[in-house]
A and B are shown apart, each in its own frame.
Chain A
Amino acid sequence: MAETIEMPEHGHDAHGDHHHEETFWSKYVFSCDHKMIAMQYMFTGMFMALIGGFFAYVFRTQLAFPGAEVMFWGLVTPGEYNSLVTNHGTIMIFWVAMPVLIAAFGNYLIPLMCGCDDMVFPRINRLSYQVFLLSAIVLIASFFVDGGGFGGAWTAYPPLSSQYEYSLTPLGSTLWVVAVALEFVAFLLGGINFVTTAMNSRAPGMRLYDIPIVVWFIVIASVLFMASVGPLIAGAVMLAFDQTLDTGFYDPNKGGDPILWQHLFWFFGHPEVYVVLLPAIGMCADVMTTFARKKLFAYRTVLYTAFGTGILSFTVWAHHQFIAGIDPRMANVFTVTTLLISVPIAEMCFVYIATLYKGSITLTTPMLWALSFIAEFLIGGVTGIFLGASGADVYFHDTYFVLAHFHYTFFPIAIIGVFMGVTYWYPKMFGTMMNDSLGKLHFWFTVIPFNLIFLPLFVLGAAGQHRRIYNYQHYPELATDELQALRVLATVALWVMLAAQFIFFYNFFSSLKNGKKAGNNPWKANSLEWVAPSPPGHGNFDEMPTVYRGPYEYSHPDRLKETGEDYWPQNVPS
Chain B
Amino acid sequence: MSAEAHAHPNYVKVWAILVALLAVSVIGPEVGDATGIQAITLFTAFGIAIVKAYMVCKNFMHLNVEKRYIVYLLTTCLVFMLLFFAAAAPDVMKTEGTNWTKPLVLTAPPAHHGEDAGHGDSHGGADAGAH
A residues near B (Cβ < 8 Å) are 1-4, 227-228, 231, 252-255, 257, 259-260, 263-264, 267, 314-315, 317-318, 325-327, 329-330, 333-334
Contact = CB atoms under 8 A, between A and B. Distances in A.
B16 interface: no
B34 to A, nearest CB: 29
B91 A325 contact: yes
Given A326-B91, A333-B87, A334-B87, 9 more contacts: A2-B1, A252-B103, A255-B102, A263-B92, A318-B87, A326-B90, A329-B90, A330-B87, A330-B90
B54 interface: no
A238 to B, nearest CB: 13
Contacts of B3: 3-4
B84 to A, nearest CB: 5
A257 B92 contact: yes
A259 B91 contact: yes
B108 interface: no
Contacts of B7: none
Interface in B17-65: none
B71 interface: no
B83 to A, nearest CB: 7
B76 A254 contact: no
A257 B3 CA distance: 50
B88 A260 contact: yes
Interface residues of B, number: 20
B90 A325 contact: no
A252 B77 CA distance: 30
A252 B102 contact: yes
Contact of A255 (B2, B76, B104): B104
Nearest to B101: A252
B97 interface: yes
B1 A1 contact: yes
27 contacts: A1-B1, A1-B2, A2-B1, A3-B3, A4-B3, A252-B102, A252-B104, A253-B104, A257-B91, A257-B102, A259-B88, A259-B91, A259-B92, A260-B88, A260-B92, A263-B87, A263-B88, A263-B92, A264-B88, A267-B84, A267-B88, A315-B83, A318-B87, A325-B91, A327-B91, A329-B90, A330-B91
Interface in B74-117: 76-77, 80-81, 83-84, 87-88, 90-92, 94, 97, 102-105
A318 B89 CA distance: 12
Most chain B CB atoms below 10 A, which of A1, A227, A257, A264: A257
A314 B104 contact: no
Interface of A (DSSP majority class): helix
B83 A327 contact: no
B79 to A, nearest CB: 9
Contacts of A259: 88, 91-92
Contacts of B88: 259-260, 263-264, 267
A231 to B, nearest CB: 6
Contacts of B76: 227
Most chain A CB atoms below 10 A, which of B3, B88, B102, B105: B88
A227 B90 contact: no
B84 A3 contact: no
A314 B83 contact: yes
Contacts of A317: 87
Give the 9 A-B residue pairs with the shortest CB-CB distance, closest first: A263-B88, A327-B90, A255-B104, A252-B102, A260-B92, A259-B91, A257-B92, A326-B91, A267-B84
Contacts of A4: 3
B84 A254 contact: no
Nearest to A324: B91
Contact of B77 (A2, A227, A257, A263): A227
Nearest to A318: B87
Contacts of B87: 263, 317-318, 330, 333-334
Nearest to B2: A1
Given A1-B1, A325-B97, A231 B84 contact: yes
A330 B92 CA distance: 13
Contacts of B104: 252-255
A474 to B, nearest CB: 27
Contacts of B103: 252-253
Nearest to B84: A267
Most chain A CB atoms below 10 A, which of B80, B102, B105: B80
Contacts of B2: 1
A263 B1 contact: no
A243 B2 CA distance: 46
A1 B76 CA distance: 32
A419 to B, nearest CB: 34
A468 B83 CA distance: 32
B115 to A, nearest CB: 21
Nearest to B79: A314
B91 A263 contact: yes
Contacts of A318: 87
A190 B52 CA distance: 33
Contacts of A263: 84, 87-88, 91-92
Contacts of B77: 227
Nearest to B77: A227
A231 B83 CA distance: 12
A333 B88 CA distance: 13
A305 to B, nearest CB: 18
A255 B105 contact: yes
A251 to B, nearest CB: 9
Nearest to B73: A223
A260 B87 CA distance: 11
Most chain B CB atoms below 10 A, which of A1, A260, A263, A334: A263
A326 B93 CA distance: 11
A488 to B, nearest CB: 40
A279 to B, nearest CB: 21
Contacts of B84: 231, 263, 267
B1 A3 contact: yes
Contacts of A260: 88, 92
A323 to B, nearest CB: 13
B107 to A, nearest CB: 11
